[in-house]
Each structure stands twice: as structure tokens, then as C-alpha cells.
């Protein structure tokens, strides 16, 4: 099992450009999440999806959109990138794995907006 995978690993954008961060999980989990991690701020929830076809806002949703394409895939889109969106983005899925029901994280996407 690959677990949670994310692409790309790194990305540099100019202000105003758009991009989509991709996430996929092979653990058959229903819930998926997008977080951003900034120094001194910890992990902050952007959006989550409790099941295929549903999405909900988290703590910091402004400037982002999401799509739950199917049970495996959950993408995060920046329509018009801003320097404040420079961060490390993590995708996670939640479910039973190894006997514990909690969240499991991907390796992250490092995004720089110039």
C-alpha cells in the first residue's frame, strides 16, 4: 500500500497564477483533508470531505477550492495564488488502519508564491 500520495512535491508560482494540488489514498478511507503548515502555526485545516460528493470548510478556506473526485482522490485548487499562500500543504485521510481510527498524512507539497 502506498498510503496517501501527493503531487507535486514542490512548486513555485507567480502571484495570480493558478494550480491544483493532487492527493490520492489507497486505504479505502471515506474522509480526506487538506492542511497547510506554517512556522509557529501548526497544522491548520483548509477543507475536508467526510465522504465522496461532500466537502466542508475548515479553519482557513479563503482562496482555496476543493474537489472530491471519487473515494480515492481529493484535490486542492488555488485559483489566483498570493504570497500568503506560500506554505507546506498536507493531505490526509481518516479511517481504520492497523487497528487505529485516525488521520494518516501524505508527504506534503512545498509551495512558494512569488
User: Smallest gap, in angstroms, from Cβ of residue 77 to another protein?
Assistant: 20
Q: Which helix (H) or strand (E) holds 21?
A: strand 19-25
Contact between 42 and another protein per CB under 8 A: yes
Exposure class string for 8-19: b at 16+ Cβ within 10 A, else e: eeebebeeeeee
User: Smallest gap, in angstroms, from Cβ of residue 40 to another protein?
Assistant: 6
Contact between 45 and another protein per CB under 8 A: yes
User: Smallest gap, in angstroms, from Cβ of residue 24 to another protein?
Assistant: 14
CA torsion, ordered 2, 8, 67, 17, to nearest 10 deg = 180
User: Smallest gap, in angstroms, from Cβ of residue 16 to another protein?
Assistant: 28
Choose the binding region for another protein from 21-29, 65-73, 77-85, 100-108 (rule: CB under 8 A).
100-108
3-class secondary-structure state, position 61: coil
Number of residues that bind another protein (CB under 8 A): 22
- At residue 72's C-alpha, the angle toward residues 71 and 77, to 5°, is 100
Question: What is the binding site for another protein (CB under 8 A)?
Answer: 4, 31, 40-43, 45, 48, 50, 58, 90, 94, 100-108, 110
Amino acid at each position: 500500500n502506498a498510503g496517501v500520495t501527493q503531487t507535486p512535491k514542490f512548486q513555485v508560482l507567480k502571484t495570480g497564477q493558478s494550480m491544483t494540488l493532487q492527493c490520492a489514498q489507497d486505504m479505502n478511507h471515506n474522509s480526506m483533508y487538506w492542511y497547510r503548515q506554517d512556522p509557529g502555526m501548526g497544522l491548520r485545516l483548509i477543507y475536508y470531505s467526510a465522504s465522496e460528493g461532500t466537502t466542508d470548510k475548515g479553519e482557513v478556506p479563503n482562496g482555496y477550492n476543493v474537489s472530491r473526485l471519487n473515494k480515492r482522490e481529493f484535490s486542492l485548487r488555488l485559483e489566483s495564488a498570493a504570497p500568503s499562500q506560500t506554505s507546506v500543504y498536507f493531505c490526509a485521510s481518516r479511517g481504520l488502519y492497523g487497528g487505529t481510527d485516525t488521520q494518516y498524512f501524505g508527504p506534503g507539497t512545498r509551495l512558494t508564491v512569488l
